[in-house]
A and B are shown apart, each in its own frame.
Chain A
Amino acid sequence: MKVRYSLFIWLALVVTACSAPGQDTIESATPTAETPAQAGASPASGSQGAPVDAADDVIFGRNDDGTFFHGAPDAPVTLIDYSDFL
């Protein structure tokens, strides 16, 4: 019985030690959302990303110009979708 209990404790410590760094990384990549909109931003230049949620490789954030993005803030290609909800 003591052997089983010790094995359980050992496994719990190993799992905890292995998972902690990943959790820290996600939290540190989660700054606060920026306030809306500085006027005068242009569609071509208004993409200084601030990721606010990162989990399972999905990043959602807001640009300095107030628009929203999906993806890595420093991705080599920025695809701007100009469209109307109607």
Chain B
Amino acid sequence: MLGAEPEIVANHVLAGQVKLVYWPMLDLGPNSENAAAAAFCAGEQDPALFWAVHHALFEDQRSVYLAQRDYFIDTAVAQGADGQAFEACYDGDEMRTLLAELDATRRDAGVTQRPTFDLNGQRILGSQPYETFAEVIAIQLP
């Protein structure tokens, strides 16, 4: 999600109202998993790097479709990840296993549409303007 995210972060995350969680969906072939692995492996070094790579990949989404291994490594390193540690994670099985487990969990939860947003159990389907999120957040706040 990038569309409404800046406003959600500025108005609700930084205000302590919302905790934003990214949950990967792996529906579109090997690069769905490779891109998620890139972000998660960067996050393994520092959670802030997860979000940096997450944003970099979404901002360059056209390239991600056909990207090769070097693209993901270069993207992570450009955001500040240690290349050697990143490659070990990216090429290993541990993160791939985690991603498969997370993907299976969201399937079991009945999440099938990309993207889907869950706010304390209330779901929003598809990309929506900031105002839609703001309405639901306002309802959810104590």
Contacts and interface: CB of A to CB of B under 8 A. Distances in A.
Interface of A: 33, 36-37, 39-44, 47, 49, 52-53, 57-58, 60-63, 65-86
A81 B50 CA distance: 14
Interface of B: 1, 5, 8-9, 12-14, 16-29, 31-32, 35-36, 39-40, 43-44, 46-48, 50-51, 54, 57-58, 61, 64-65, 94-95, 97-98, 101-102, 105-106, 108-109, 111, 114-121, 133, 137, 140-142
B118 A44 contact: yes
Contacts of A85: 24, 31-32, 35-36, 39, 54, 57-58, 61, 64
Contact of A53 (B44, B46, B114): B46
Given A68-B43, A68-B51, A83-B115, 4 more contacts: A52-B47, A78-B119, A81-B5, A84-B25
Contacts of B32: 84-86
